[in-house]
Amino acid sequence: MSTTLKRKNLMNSFLEEHTYSLFQNSAKNKKFSILPLRNFKDIFYTGKISIGTPRQQFRVLFDTSFADFWVTSVYCQDPGCSKHKHFDPRESTTFEITDRHMNHLNKFGRIMGFFGRDIVRIGNVVIKNQTFALSQSQTSKILPCVPFEGILGLGYPTLATVGITPFFDNLMQQGIISEPVFAFYLNTKKKNGRVVMLGGVDHSYHKGKLNWIPVSESRYWQITLDRISMNGKVIGCTNRCQAILDTGSSSVCGPTRLITKIQRLIGARPSKGCRYLISRRVNTTIPPVVFTINGVDYPMHPENYILRTSCGLCVRTFVGGTEEMTESETWILGDVFLRLYVSVFDRGNCRIGLAPAV
């Protein structure tokens, strides 16, 4: 126990000492890029990219829980493909086919296809020989309805298909960015808000200093969660647990029994038209749900997770089911949490920085 505490204190000291050693002038750095994101009903945040020569434009979801990169192709005839733009490799003079194939089952469904290489442009960033998958089959009930044509994964390379170099690793290897860092601002308050930053962080998007959290497993962007509390009482993660920061998920997900407990504590009841409904009287007295991470409290107030709909006050943001993913208590902190904070993903130091969004 004393050894564990010593290591934790050493890590915290290191992170504190190095908090200001990176990203001081990112906004003025020529190798730093900011890409605007479009908000679709607070569910998806998508950005424009182009592939090939001449350029073929697409919207993609930037997903930190995924490491491969795929787009819908002309070879896909499934309903999940029919309503979207399709990449046609025959129209690109710089496209090269590979002998690699993708067969991936994730939260959106099963995606099957083959990998190729081409020039990819994101804002002012140009990546040569980027490997990506062209979908041939998209078995999904969700994908026909989504406002994007593909997913660009930002997870660790251990999540990627064997032998495939992920997008962000290519940025680092080709020297396209000066710092091995990307960041998200998903808040709606800033005029030119909702952006992904590549190669650093623009500090004008957050208040105060970044609080650094060590990554506990270099696969997902996974961290250790101290506890979850309401009104000072621990309601989840009693003996510390794991959490994954996921820009590809809109909700906070956890074990079903603990999500049910949270719904009960905030006075929500099941409803057909809404996942849970809450009375207006109860809404005025609900305390925040507080996630304590590396000794720092990150509160989610009722206005952050209660929506006003035609049915009334609706709670859709807490979802159960992570017990099907792993036996140990695990939480997924999606966009409803990340909207409140600037999140900085530091591959160079295996850490995540969080600070309140402006």
Rounded average pLDDT per 10-residue block, the chain, 358 residues: 44 48 62 93 94 98 97 91 93 97 91 97 95 95 92 97 96 95 87 87 95 96 98 96 97 95 83 59 74 97 77 75 94 97 97 96
Residue 234 backbone phi and psi in degrees, to 5: -70, 125
- pLDDT for res 33: 94
Q: What is the pTM of this model?
A: 0.90
- pLDDT for res 22: 55
| Non-local CB neighbours of 303 within 8 Å, separated by 6+ positions | none
**Strand 330-333 to 241-245 pairing:** parallel
- pLDDT for res 20: 40
Report the first-to-last Cα separation within the chain, whole angstroms: 39
How many Cα neighbours within 13 Å face the side chain of 124?
Answer: 10
What is the residue whose two structure tokens read 């424009």?
Answer: 48
Indicate the length of the chain as a whole number: 358
The CATH 2.40.70.10 domain(s) of the chain lie at: 35-178, 203-356
What is the per-residue DSSP string for 73-135?
BTT--SHHHHTS--B-GGG-TT-EEEEEEEEEEETTEEEEEEEEEEEEEETTEEEEEEEEEEE
How many Cα neighbours within 13 Å face the side chain of 333?
Answer: 28
- pLDDT for res 167: 97
246 flagged as catalytic: yes
192 three-state secondary structure = coil
- Inter-residue long-range contacts of 232-236, CB under 8 Å, 24+ positions, other chains counted: 235/261, 235/262, 235/265, 235/289, 236/261, 236/262, 236/329, 236/331
Q: How far apart are CA 131 and CA 214, in angstroms?
A: 29
226 flagged as catalytic: no
- pLDDT for res 7: 47
Q: Which of 68, 226, 246, 335 is catalytic?
A: 246
Pick the CATH number of 203-356 from 2.40.70.10, 3.30.565.10, 3.40.720.10, 3.40.50.720: 2.40.70.10
Q: Which of 63, 68, 118, 346 is catalytic?
A: 63
Q: Which CATH architecture describes the domain 35-178?
A: Beta Barrel (2.40)
Residue 8 backbone phi and psi in degrees, to 5: -65, -45
- Six-digit token pair at 122? 């994101």
- pLDDT for res 24: 58
- pLDDT for res 161: 95
| Non-local CB neighbours of 64 within 8 Å, separated by 6+ positions | 153, 154, 155, 220, 221, 245, 246, 247, 248, 345
